Amino acid sequence: MLKKCFHVSVWICLCLASWLLLGETCQGSSLDFNAEVKLPNNQVDANLTYFDLQMKPNQKQRLQVDLTNLSDKAVKIKAAVATATTNDQGKIVYQTSKNRLLKNIPVKLEEAVVIPTKQVVIPKGETLPFFLEVTMPANSYEGVLVGSVQFTQMDLGKDTTKKSQEMMIKNVFSRTIAILVRENKQQVSETVDLTSFSTKQEKNRTYVVASLEHPVASILSPVTIQTELIDQHNPTEVLAKQVTEDIQLAPFTQTDFPVIKTEEPLKSGVYSLDVKVTDSQNHTWKFKEQVKVQSNKEKTLTQPRPKQVTASKPVSKKTSPLLVKLCGSCLGLIAIIGGYDIYLVKKGGRK
């Protein structure tokens, strides 16, 4: 009877500890607010949950997003607008970088979309309208410009302008709403260009990086890049090949994309690089370039680009003290169960 009561008590404690563990994990995985778009009359597709607007040159328009506080306390929300770019992994991100946008872009979205109030505090359970003001460029353009407005939940009582250590270790929750602006629905002629190449050797491998440009107002996706590295002294010998799929190219964007990775370092010399870029409509662009390789380990042949800012704020994986205590308690309870069972076995053996 004593053994049965002991086991029941232990299992109740374990279940309680597991519930607390799961409760803390789930608590940090949801937003305390919701953002709902109010679609205007010039919305291209009314079934979308983001803005896709057809506007005229110099036209001004006010957009509305309703922010609802879903929690039982006030929440502070910060808003920011960014132009879409393509990162080094070939994915579209909403993080403006002047080094990734081409000079022929008609206007950056953060310049065309103005936020009168960048921060707002929403009382618990209430819904407040949030307004954005869009101004189209004076000069007409073909295609679509792409960006987003990001609503980020901030920590009340913290100075959001400071990049303090305390802010870096807290979860940052956000909601991103895309903004597309165009003058008409006419499709633009697609084009892709490879403007330069660089190589480097690192960890006994050779990497070839291509500077890929998409200089038109459209989203080109998905894109496939097929690359072959050939020995110029032996044109029939393919030293390395690579196929990369599902690449997304934002309008007027430039990105440094790794197109070749060899399993062994290449000897110093000049190699031939064949690149084939294909989109979903079977448009194909082919490039053939000479690539110089220097065998010095980890020495880049061209100046490296500035390190890209990530699209979301970093979140430190700091361990919660509650989790540490509960895990220690669970391990201790398991040890007690095992020790008690061994004791009962030995006691029974003596009998």
Q: Is residue 123 part of a domain?
A: yes
Residues 177, 42 share a domain: yes
- Say how far apart CA 193 and CA 225 lie, in whole Å: 12
* C-alpha dist (Å) from residue 22 to 16, 151, 231, 237, 326: 10, 27, 57, 56, 11
Model confidence, pTM:
0.71
Q: Can you tell me the distance from the alpha carbon of 286 to that of 108, in angstroms, rounded to the nearest whole number?
A: 30
Structural domain count of the chain: 2
Phi, psi angle pair for 8, to nearest 5°: -60, -45
So what's the pLDDT on residue 294?
79
Neighbours of 169 (CB within 10 A): 12
Q: Which of 182, 201, 231 is the last residue of a domain?
A: 182
Assigned domain for 139 exists:
yes
What is the Cβ-side half-sphere exposure of residue 214, based on CA atoms within 13 angstroms? 30
Do 173 and 207 share a structural domain?
Answer: no
Q: How far apart are CA 207 and CA 110, in angstroms?
A: 35
Walk along the chain (351 residues) in steps of 10 and give the mean pLDDT of each run.
48 39 38 95 96 98 98 95 94 85 94 95 97 97 96 72 40 87 94 91 87 96 96 88 96 93 87 95 94 65 38 37 52 61 56 48
Do residues 72 and 167 both lie within one domain?
yes
Are residue 44 and residue 102 in the same domain, yes or no?
A: yes
Helix (H) / strand (E) containing 180: strand 174-182
Q: Tell me, yes or no, whether 159 and 213 share the same domain.
A: no
- In this structure, are 203 and 108 located in the same domain? no
Whether residues 106 and 240 share a domain: the answer is: no
CB atoms within 10 A of CB 296: 11
- DSSP 8-class letter at 338: H
Distance CA 215, CA 249 (A): 10
Cα–Cα distances (Å) from 196 to 215, 292, 293, 324, in that order, read 15, 12, 14, 51
Domain boundary among 182, 207, 238: 182
Q: Does residue 307 belong to any structural domain of this protein?
A: no
Residues 131 and 57 in one domain: yes
- Whether residue 311 is contained in a domain is answered as no
Tokens (6 digits) for 81:
């607008």
Residue 315 lies in a domain: no
Identity of the residue numbered 93? V
Burial class (CB in 10 A: 0-12, 13-18, 19+), 287: middle
Task: Give the per-residue pLDDT at 334.
Answer: 61
Asked whether residue 12 is domain-assigned, the answer is no
> What pLDDT does 201 receive?
82
Asked if residue 224 and residue 142 are part of one domain, the reply reads no
Write out the residue range of the structural domain in which residue 139 sits.
Answer: 31-182
Give the pLDDT confidence score for residue 204 in this predicted structure.
82
Pick from 316, 11, 60: nearest CA to 169? 316
| 245 and 160 together in one domain | no
Tell me if 346 is assigned to some domain: no
Residue 207 lies in a domain: yes
The CATH number of the domain holding residue 113 is 2.60.40.10
Of 247, 275, 293, the residue at which a domain comes to its end is 293
Task: Report which of 53, 30, 58, 32 is spatially closest to residue 43, judged by C-alpha positions.
Answer: 53
The answer on 257 and 169 residing in a single domain is no
* Torsion of the alpha carbons at 250, 253, 258 and 260, rounded to the nearest 10: 90
- What are the angstrom distances between the C-alpha of 105 and each of 66, 144, 251? 30, 11, 8
Q: If you ran DSSP here, which 8-state letter would residue 266 be given?
A: P
Is the CB of residue 223 less than 8 Å from the CB of residue 190? no
Indicate if 178 and 209 belong to the same structural domain. no
Find tokens 């109740």 and name the residue: 12
